[in-house]
Structures are given as structure tokens and as C-alpha cells.
């Protein structure tokens, strides 16, 4: 015969179960909020400006820690907030760093030249040759000049009223795409 204590152990405590699940969900939400606020940036690519490196609608993860001790480098793909027009509204964008602080970026016949170099940038990530000439643009200290990889279809720094992105507005360095395909982004 079972004693009362054994019967008690077998009784399901619904309130206790709900409290435990609530604690688990609250802890998971807290961890996710911490990671998304301080460690990673999760973003969806809104346009075709980075194709074929990153496709429209791709979901990407970036590291918020990437530039704590260092600065963005030419060629890095970054997530940043920027006012692209006079409305004052910030938009989250994903572009490639082309011009670094203090540099002059000049685009002649679709080729990018830095500081009057005789040799254009080597840009193997471009899906097709860029058309047109733009600039020169002198990048202020503490700022960066950003362009999309799909240059003929990219509304990037060449066309923004505020052409330069301050370092403080760069949220993260893009690491990888996780949906609908999985892979490192370079």
C-alpha cells in the first residue's frame, strides 16, 4: 500500500509546472535580448544593392563586437543606421566599406580609385562592371564611404544627401547569412 507521501509525489502540480515554464521562457527571452543588444545584430536585407554577395530578403547576422577595439576596413560588409535623405528618418542598411577616414574616393568610368592611385580597387565581388563616373569624395575623419556590390542598382553613398557614415552609426560587421541559405558573407 502506498503511503500519503508517495501519493503526493505522484500528484501533478499544474501551478508549479506553469511557474517553471514561465521562468524558462523568461530566461530565454532575457538571453536573446542581451545577445541581440550587445553581441549580435540580426538584419534582413531590404534591397538588391548587395547582390550577388547577399540577396534581397536574406537574413544575416553581424558581430556588434567587431569594431570595439578596431576600425572597419575596406571591403568589410557592415550593418549601419543612416539618414539617407532629408526626412531625418534613419534606415538600417547593409553595404560594403569602400572609403576610409581621410581618403579621397574617385570613380572614373566605373572604376574606384583611392587617393589618386593609378590602380583601381580590385573588386572581385562585383556581379557586373559599374557604369559611370562619380566624385571625388573626401571622407571626413571618423566616417566611412559605403557602396553596394550591385553598383548599377544600388542607392548608396554616391546618391545620399549625407554621403558619409560616422563610425558610431555602424552597428556590426556582417558574418554570415542564415536564411534562406546558410553561408559566410565576404
Q: Which residue numbers are catalytic?
A: 49, 95
Cα–Cα distance measured from residue 37 to residue 31, given in angstroms and rounded to the nearest whole number = 10
Question: Can you say how many angstroms the Cα of residue 76 is from the centroid of all Cα atoms in its chain?
Answer: 10
Cα–Cα distance measured from residue 53 to residue 74, given in angstroms and rounded to the nearest whole number = 16
Report yes or no: 16 and 39 within 8 Å, Cβ to Cβ: no
The DSSP line for 79-130 is EEEE--STT---EEEEEEEEE-TT-EEEEETTEEEETT-SS----TT-SS--
Q: Take residue 71 and report the three cell numbers written for it.
A: 576600425
Is residue 3 classed as helix, strand or coil in its secondary structure? coil
Amino acid at each position: 500500500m502506498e503511503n500519503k507521501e508517495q501519493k503526493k509525489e505522484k500528484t501533478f502540480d499544474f501551478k508549479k509546472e506553469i511557474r517553471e515554464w514561465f521562468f524558462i521562457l523568461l530566461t530565454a527571452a532575457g538571453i536573446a535580448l542581451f545577445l541581440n543588444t550587445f553581441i549580435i545584430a540580426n538584419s534582413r536585407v531590404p534591397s538588391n544593392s548587395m547582390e550577388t554577395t547577399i540577396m534581397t530578403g536574406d537574413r544575416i547576422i553581424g558581430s556588434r563586437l567587431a569594431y570595439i577595439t578596431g576600425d572597419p576596413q575596406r571591403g568589410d560588409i557592415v550593418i549601419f543606421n543612416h539618414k539617407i535623405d532629408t526626412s531625418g528618418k534613419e534606415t538600417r542598411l547593409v553595404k560594403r566599406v569602400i572609403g576610409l577616414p581621410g581618403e579621397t574616393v574617385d570613380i572614373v568610368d566605373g572604376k574606384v580609385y583611392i587617393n589618386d592611385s593609378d590602380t583601381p580597387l580590385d573588386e572581385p565581388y562585383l556581379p557586373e562592371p559599374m557604369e559611370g563616373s562619380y566624385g571625388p569624395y573626401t571622407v571626413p575623419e571618423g566616417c566611412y564611404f559605403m557602396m553596394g556590390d550591385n553598383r548599377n542598382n544600388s542607392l548608396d553613398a554616391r546618391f545620399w544627401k549625407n554621403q558619409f557614415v560616422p563610425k558610431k552609426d555602424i552597428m556590426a560587421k556582417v558574418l554570415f547569412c542564415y536564411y534562406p541559405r546558410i553561408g559566410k558573407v565576404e
